[in-house]
Structure 1
Amino acid sequence: MDLGISGRTAVVCASTSGLGAATARALGAEGANVVVSGRREDLAKAIAAELPSAVGVAVDLTAPGGPEALLRAANEAFGDVDILVLNGPGPRPATASTLDTESTVKALHDLLLVQQTLVNAVLPGMRERGWGRIVAIASSGVVQPLPNLALSNIGRTALAAYLKSLATDVAADGVTVNLVLPGRIATDRTESLDKAQAERSGRSVDEARADSERSIPARRYGRPEEFGAVTAFLCGAPASYTTGTAVRCDGGLVGVL
Structure 2
Amino acid sequence: MSGNNSLNPDDKQVAVVVGATSKWQSDGRNTKLAHGKVVDDSDLPIGVRWGVGGAIAQKFAQEGYFVVLTTRVATNASALAEAIRQQGGACMVVELDLISEQSISAAFARIRSEAGDPHVLVYNAGYLEGRDLPPEKELLEHLPVEMFDTAQHIASRGPFLVAKEVLPSMRKKGAGSFFFSNNSKSLRGVKRKTGESLYYPRVMMRTLAQVLTEEYSEHGVHVANVVIDGTIDSPGTRMLPKLRQQPELVMNPVKIAEAFYYLHTQDRSCWTHELQLTPFLVKPSH
Global fold match (TM > 0.5): yes
Normalising to structure 1: TM-score of the pair? 0.79
RMSD, aligned CA: 2.6
Name the stretch that deviates more: 113-122 or 60-69: 60-69
Name the CA shift for 1:239/1:185 in 2 (closer, same or farther; >3 Å): farther
Q: Displacement of 1:169 after TM fit?
A: 1.1
2:250 maps to amino acid: Y
Q: Displacement of 1:23 after TM fit?
A: 0.8
Q: Displacement of 1:53 after TM fit?
A: 1.7
What is the aligned partner in structure 1 of residue 114 from structure 2? 77
What is the aligned partner in structure 1 of residue 61 from structure 2? 28
Name the stretch that deviates more: 161-170 or 104-113: 104-113
Q: Is the 8 A contact 1:185 1:221 kept in 2?
A: yes
Distance 1:256 1:58 in 2: 34
| Structure 1 residues 103-138: Cα deviation after superposition (integer angstroms, max 9, x where no partner) | 333311221101110101111110110001000111
Q: Taking every aligned residue pair, what percent have the same amino acid on both sides?
A: 21
Distance 1:156 1:190 in 2: 21
Name the CA shift for 1:56/1:101 in 2 (closer, same or farther; >3 Å): closer
Name the CA shift for 1:180/1:231 in 2 (closer, same or farther; >3 Å): same
Q: Is the 8 A contact 1:178 1:244 kept in 2?
A: yes
What is the aligned partner in structure 2 of residue 10 from structure 1? 15
- Residues 1:187 and 2:220 aligned together: no
Q: Is the 8 A contact 2:243 2:249 kept in 1?
A: no
| Structure 1 residues 151-198: Cα deviation after superposition (integer angstroms, max 9, x where no partner) | 45312111101111110111111101112121111136746xx9xxxx
Distance 2:195 2:283 in 1: 16
Distance 1:165 1:153 in 2: 20
Q: Displacement of 1:43 after TM fit?
A: 3.6
Equivalent pairs counted in the alignment come to 233
Secondary structure of the residue aligned to 1:228 is: helix
Structure 2 residue ranges without an equivalent (≥5): 1-10, 22-49, 132-137
Normalising to structure 2: TM-score of the pair? 0.72
What is the aligned partner in structure 2 of residue 197 from structure 1? none
Structure 1 residue ranges without an equivalent (≥5): 1-5, 195-204
Name the stretch that deviates more: 6-15 or 22-31: 6-15
Q: Is the 8 A contact 1:35 1:54 kept in 2?
A: yes
| Structure 1 residues 50-74: Cα deviation after superposition (integer angstroms, max 9, x where no partner) | 2412111233232341211221221
Distance 2:268 2:179 in 1: 12
Distance 2:197 2:144 in 1: 10
| Correspondent of 1:144 among 178, 184, 188 | 188
Secondary structure of the residue aligned to 2:67 is: strand
Secondary structure of the residue aligned to 1:143 is: helix
Distance 1:100 1:126 in 2: 38
Name the CA shift for 1:173/1:29 in 2 (closer, same or farther; >3 Å): same
Distance 1:40 1:256 in 2: 33
Secondary structure of the residue aligned to 1:70 is: helix
Name the CA shift for 1:22/1:151 in 2 (closer, same or farther; >3 Å): farther
